[in-house]
Structure 1
Amino acid sequence: MCRTSGSIRPMGCMRTAGAIPAPGVLMFAMTSRKAVWLLGALASAAVSAADGLQEPWKNFTEDLQQVGARMEARLPERLRDDPQVQQEAGTLILQAMAREVLEALGADESHPVFLPSLGAVINIFQPNADTVYLNANVDDHGSYRLRGQSGSVRVIKMAQFRALADEVAFEEGPSSFQALSYNDFNDLSIDDQGRFDVLLSRKRPQGYSGDWWELHPGTGFLMIRQMSSDWANERDWRVAIERLDTGVQRDRPSAAELEARLSRLSRRIGDVALSLVTHVEDMRKAGYLNRLRIMHTPGSLEGQFYYEGAYEINASEALVVEAKVPEDCVYWSAILTNDIYQTIDWMNNQSSLNDAQAHVDADGVVRFVLSLDDPGVHNWLDPAGHASGAFQGRWTGCSSTLIPKVTKVALADLDDFLPADTVRVTAAEREAAIRERRMHFQMRPLW
């Protein structure tokens, strides 16, 4: 006989109301127009199929179903009926979920740890291909100690942000993702074994003469950015954090605390996933299609100048993006995003280039070529099949900050447009470069 109560049924039994959907039903859901609802639907099915789950968990899964509806309503009209974009939007929800679940499980202002916040897998908020991002929640009245091993990356800075309670916005206001303060690890004292040790608190402890950073009022979390140009040879810093004004051991979390973490999770997943999905469309509507502008980004890195614009090409076209490289510059780069502002896969494609990877021509100009097919030039930016999206660049610590020129050319005429000393690559050389790129990226501390 088939068991009809609970969640366990022998193979071959008819599916009863509330049971987990069969594979065929899931496949239909995945290929339907409302694919972005899949995450919430699966979670809801799992809840209704099991006995004795707590009310907070049931509420969480029910609230989670609304994330798909919010996403579908937020997608630009141009993209809303595209099944490819629908699935990518569903993936964006999953990535936001991964980030927020990590925080719900591991973030603790009394016993903090730096957790991965965005990157190649958690591809939200349009991460920079060269940056490792780590977050730790803190109490702005607490006293903390950061210590570890120094590295050799170009830039390592820590931002102090207020806690976010809504979607990230580009405008000033409660949702604005703007840093309250920045701290530069390169300003710290390093001992003869490469170690550092710095206190972070509202006030410097009386009589303390070591490295100290002020913890600004309103700070809810810290974000470390480590930017590397030479992935093969530059070493990332290793950073640990602990709180000094609480007990060294961590007590068992209370039921109320665990419930509170779960209760705010579904809303945060939606806020994170939806934050910037219209940004590329907004640039198109503002007239920045195949044109670039200064970018005022939420959470922008101190000392970094951003520019960006939407792009659109077909298989017979290419965009040439060119700029005179500043005489002095700590770091510069260019990346591509898709239409919902996720950075295009840079581990498996050359969708980004930086000052150590790109070739600068003899006239001091860097020229990037954006095309759907590989044109056989070193500075090709690969959109990985995305005929439209965004182009973004960074000048960091540079003596000048130019907005590059963008020219659309016929792919057949590209060789006539580029200078004679343009570096070319064969298909075999491109494949070898991608394999090296992938290996060196994976060697960085991504988790």
Structure 2
Amino acid sequence: MMRKILALILKIQKQSAAGKLRRRGLSSEEAASGNIISGKSWDDFCDLLKAAGGSILGFDSPMDSLTRSEGFRYLSRLTRAGLENFVEGGNTGAPILRRLVHETVKMGNDNPDFYYKSTIIDGHRRYRITGHLGTTPFLIFSTQEGDYSDSAGASMPIAGQLSTDEMLIGENGRIEIILSNEREGENWLRTTPETKMLMVRELFGDRDRERTSELRVEALDKSTDSEILESRHLEDGLNRAGQLVAGASLMFARWSREFAGTTNQLPRFDQARSDAAGGDPLMAYYHSYWSLKPGKALVVEATPPECATWNLVLSNHWLESLDYRYSQIHVNKHTAYYRPDGSVRILICHEDPELPNWLHPQGHDFGGMCFRWNRADSYPQPIIREIDMSRLSIFRDEESQSPAKKMQYTPSIPKGLKNG
């Protein structure tokens, strides 16, 4: 199944390139115009969407109604995200920061504690980000060489990265960042000619109490792009949107099958592989898979090191985080209750155990999960074990004698290197 999907992606890429080569006497706009007029560009886009269905039907994926329903909804979400990002937001001369991953578009064991924004950019151009920071602990700005339309999403290396703790920050949290190939300005974010995307990850400590940043990005070079929709831009946008749906679903279906091999364990994910896929290089990831049997609970225990934050997130089979709008499906440094010795005990079970740090699986019996240490001074191994629900009474007795407590946390504007 994987080979068939990859073969179709490559076929459409080659057909597009071959078509342009056959039209050497035509401009790129004229060549694309022929494909738009004939309907070929649309057919190619629809072929990619159809091929993406193989990621749901293949890879030994579960055949129950809930998993399959979520799988095809997942493809519809990726389609929406792809069109929004590459067709509506594909003008690199007028970039707009959009939420590619959010409450109803998810992928790759996404992190509910990150407020993701991104935009398509051209690595040959210069850009400026301006705005005011909110009250979240910090932001990470990164430029990436590639996106999910490249190499089935497996190759998106970071060209440059800048976080607010490295930045000069002005009065009331005002910031300005220059994006360019050569160092420029007080806050510089490196790009390369191969750069295709700007990603902003804004960390929540306590989502219910914090205010996100207000940011805009603009191209500094004079734009030669037409205000009229050009065929070449539409064809490229449709192709890249289709590649996102087919590529991301393929890669993460493969990941899910792999993670199922370590069910109810938390092995550390290979850092180089994570970095290549666009992950945060200062984050240690423990991607895996969970499964709950009737009458059982999963207990995850760890002693957090000094770190910016940490969390544990539950996902479904397709590695979409469960719906964090309606119940607690993840816990982090600032929302967790700590035992007197500084450790945390997290419970995963269908029924409310009347204990702190309960994660609700929302009717799922299995799915992906991810534990993260963010900017930590060490990486202790989280321990996970399965117990009978009846044994939770021991934890309740323990809790009554020595209650777990939250740490104090007050949201504020990040200070960076300087705060005016």
1:324 aligns with 2:303: yes
Secondary structure of the structure 2 residue equivalent to 1:420: helix
Say whether the 8 Å CA contact 1:376–1:424 is kept in structure 2.
Answer: no
Secondary structure of the structure 2 residue equivalent to 1:360: coil
Equivalent residues in 2 for 1:153-192, closer than 5 Å: 153-164=136-147, 165-166=149-150, 168=152, 175-192=154-171
Determine the structure 1 residue equivalent to 2:283. 304
Give the deviation of 1:385 after TM superposition.
1.1
Q: 1:413 aligns with which of 391, 394, 400?
A: 391
Determine the structure 2 residue equivalent to 1:98. 80
When you count helix as a share of all residues, which structure comes out higher?
2
Equivalent residues in 2 for 1:86-235, closer than 5 Å: 86-103=68-85, 104-164=87-147, 165-166=149-150, 168=152, 175-204=154-183, 210-235=186-211
Cα deviations by residue, 1:27-83 (Å, 9 ceiling, x for unpaired)? xxxxxxxxxxxxxxxxxxxxxxxxx98614651564155235423443425x1x322
Give the deviation of 1:318 after TM superposition.
0.5
Give the deviation of 1:300 after TM superposition.
1.9
Q: 2:241 aligns with which of 247, 265, 268?
A: 265
**Partner AA of 1:338 in structure 2:** N
Gap runs ≥5 in structure 1: 1-51, 170-174, 426-447
**Partner AA of 1:348 in structure 2:** Y
Determine the structure 2 residue equivalent to 1:22. none
Secondary structure of the structure 1 residue equivalent to 2:142: strand
Determine the structure 2 residue equivalent to 1:30. none
Equivalent residues in 2 for 1:5-20, closer than 5 Å: none
Task: Report which of the two structures shows the higher radius of gyration computed on alpha carbons.
Answer: 1
Cα deviations by residue, 1:239-278 (Å, 9 ceiling, x for unpaired)? 1110111249862232332233234433332222332023
| Total equivalences in the alignment | 362
Determine the structure 2 residue equivalent to 1:375. 353
Aligned counterparts of 2:400 and 2:302: Cα–Cα separation in 1: 15
Determine the structure 2 residue equivalent to 1:40. none
Cα deviations by residue, 1:157-194 (Å, 9 ceiling, x for unpaired)? 1111112334546xxxxx32332321113332222243
Structure 1 window deviating more from structure 2 (354-363 vs 54-63): it is: 54-63
Normalised TM-score (structure 2): 0.79
1:294 aligns with 2:268: yes
**Partner AA of 2:389 in structure 1:** L
Q: 1:386 aligns with which of 354, 364, 367?
A: 364
Say whether the 8 Å CA contact 1:182–1:302 is kept in structure 2.
Answer: no
Say whether the 8 Å CA contact 1:334–1:352 is kept in structure 2.
Answer: yes
Give the deviation of 1:142 after TM superposition.
0.7
1:59 aligns with 2:43: yes
Determine the structure 2 residue equivalent to 1:243. 219
Q: 1:74 aligns with which of 41, 45, 58?
A: 58
Say whether the 8 Å CA contact 2:340–2:402 is kept in structure 1.
Answer: no
Say whether the 8 Å CA contact 2:142–2:189 is kept in structure 1.
Answer: no
**Partner AA of 1:180 in structure 2:** A
Structure number with the bigger relative contact order (C-alpha 8 A, sep ≥ 6) is 2
1:343 aligns with 2:321: yes
Q: What percent identity do the matched residue pairs reach?
A: 22
| RMSD after superposition | 2.7
Determine the structure 2 residue equivalent to 1:16. none
**Partner AA of 2:228 in structure 1:** R
Aligned counterparts of 2:52 and 2:224: Cα–Cα separation in 1: 41
Distance change (3 Å), C-alpha of 1:417 and 1:424: closer
Give the deviation of 1:412 after TM superposition.
0.9
Aligned counterparts of 2:253 and 2:319: Cα–Cα separation in 1: 6
Equivalent residues in 2 for 1:6-45, closer than 5 Å: none
Give the deviation of 1:122 after TM superposition.
0.6
Normalised TM-score (structure 1): 0.75
Distance change (3 Å), C-alpha of 1:366 and 1:54: same
Give the deviation of 1:108 after TM superposition.
1.8
**Partner AA of 1:181 in structure 2:** G
Distance change (3 Å), C-alpha of 1:237 and 1:423: farther
Say whether the 8 Å CA contact 1:361–1:422 is kept in structure 2.
Answer: no
Gap runs ≥5 in structure 2: 1-35, 404-420
